[in-house]
Homo-oligomer: A and B are copies of this chain.
Amino acid sequence: MAKTPVLTPRSDDFPRWYQDLVNKAELADNGPVRGTMVIRPYGYGLWERMQAEMDVRIKETGAQNAYFPLLIPQSYLTREADHVEGFAPELAVVTHGGGKELEEPAVVRPTSEMIINDYFSKWVQSYRDLPLLINQWANVVRWELRPRLFLRTTEFLWQEGHTAHATYEDARDFAAHIHRDVYEDFMANVLAMDVVPGRKTVKERFAGAVNTLTLEGMMGDGKALQMATSHELGQNFAKAFNTSYLSKDGTQELVWQTSWGSTTRMIGALVMMHGDDNGLRVPPRLAQIQAVVLAIKGDEAVLAKVREIGDRLKSAGIRVHVDDRTDTPFGRRAVDWELKGVPVRIEVGPRDLENGTAMLARRIPGGKEPVAIESLVQLLPTVLEADQALLLTQSRARRESCTTDVTTIEEAVEVAATGWARMPWAKLGPEGESALGEHGVTVRCLVSEDGSVPDSDDAPGTLAVLARAY
């Protein structure tokens, strides 16, 4: 089948390719209020599967879901000084409600630290109430001047976790637990994404945190995207809200806290890490549709066969969709499923029926070949797992080949035009970090030489990962 290019090639204009893909694969549209977005069913299906996979992992840590109000009294925001300074420029403010001007304006939550801490201070009384582990799936609003779908939007969807612990060590370990066993595990094993775990420098920390752990992914243009963060908040919020508990020894102690979040940004990362010039490639474990069975033409025998194949694959536990809309040309439908990145297409026409075969098209490695229809139920789980593994391998190989060790700021800036640079933090330091900033390059994270997360910024052998970033 001859193809006309449906997307701007990545090498021509990466941002336009991204925009094209998001629109044509029907992931999202721009909303009418600047910077907002409409997440279309196919895009939202990716988010639903992300939520399901993350939610299981979050609950395994012992955290429970809850829901806190969207609207926060404006005065709350001022309680933690660094925090308010970080968010003030991005706030949406409700001044009128129920036809009247409000006595105190309310802000639409940009994050829920403030309101959740208000309740933590009421709920935590005794050491028996600790640890308190809460997660929330919600929408937040941060006014965005340079919006881009999924990557920077005025409203986005996310999960935000908030926890309170009896000791510094408990809080530190929990933040690391989320970072590793929820986020990194999910990204590697479901999103098939190679991500680099590390800690943020003081400059790049979350407003109000004493330490921020991050996972950084390399996009198709060599830029970095922050995939999720997990923060140690120390006692900053505990002091601001007087969140304290009666210890076993009978003393009153402030709690130690964490917060952690991941957002619909991950959909943008999925596009930019796994997408190619023909569209998205969805990892099979994430895909809401793992296999689509297409009727090439609308005769009865073909339609009966694709439905039968669909039923059998569904019974075998494969997430399958039957495309029997033969009033739309086959070629257009095939291109559309390719754009949407469904891992496997099974194409059935009249001639295939005679042979008892179907064409098996694999989106991730590419290519197609005839296979016996009878073998599909056995074959597909193996194919899907192989393709899942391949995506991860490809993303790792790209990141490794596009990361260069450097020794000077000039080299770092040059490397960061197309990939990532790595440089000893002891050599770069906060001054070098500032100098890089003038060239639009930031320290994405600090890592140890063996790939582990350093315990402190000045741990021996700490490397800074340097890149331009979304």
Contacts and interface: CB of A to CB of B under 8 A. Distances in A.
Given A70-B141, A115-B32, A128 B92 contact: no
A118 to B, nearest CB: 7
A76 interface: yes
A190 to B, nearest CB: 19
Contact of A90 (B41, B68, B71, B98): B98
B69 A32 contact: yes
A40 interface: yes
Given A64-B41, A141-B70, A98 B89 contact: yes
Interface in A77-96: 88-96
Given A33-B106, A106-B33, A66 B40 contact: yes
B67 A44 contact: yes
A155 B64 CA distance: 21
A66 B39 CA distance: 6
A171 to B, nearest CB: 20
Interface residues of A, number: 57
A143 interface: yes
B41 A141 contact: no
Nearest to A105: B96
B40 A73 contact: no
Contact of A134 (B41, B88, B108, B155): B41
Contacts of A249: none
A319 to B, nearest CB: 12
A41 B69 contact: no
Contact of A48 (B65, B69, B92, B106): B65
A470 interface: no
Contacts of A97: 91-93, 143, 154
Interface in A145-200: 145, 154-155, 157
Given A73-B32, A119-B29, A67 B38 contact: yes
Contacts of A47: 67
Contacts of A138: 139
A212 to B, nearest CB: 24
Contacts of A89: 98-99
A325 interface: yes
Interface in A32-64: 32-33, 36-41, 44-45, 47-48, 64
A76 B327 CA distance: 36
Contacts of A68: 31, 38-39
Contacts of A118: 32
Contacts of A401: none
A261 to B, nearest CB: 18
Contacts of A33: 69, 71-73, 106
Given A32-B69, A38-B119, A71-B141, A128 B95 contact: no
A143 B95 CA distance: 12
Contact of A328 (B76, B108, B128, B134): B128
A79 to B, nearest CB: 12
B45 A65 contact: yes
B94 A93 contact: yes
Contacts of A157: 67
Contacts of A37: 69
A398 to B, nearest CB: 31
B71 A36 contact: yes
A173 B38 CA distance: 28
A92 B107 CA distance: 11
Given A31-B69, A119-B29, A128-B327, A143 B45 contact: no
A444 B28 CA distance: 40
Nearest to A114: B32
Contacts of A328: 128
Nearest to A145: B98
A72 B139 CA distance: 15
Contact of A139 (B31, B36, B139): B139
B88 A99 contact: yes
Interface in A342-387: none
Contacts of A36: 69-71
14 contacts: A31-B115, A32-B76, A36-B70, A38-B68, A41-B65, A48-B65, A91-B96, A91-B98, A93-B94, A93-B95, A94-B94, A97-B143, A97-B154, A138-B139
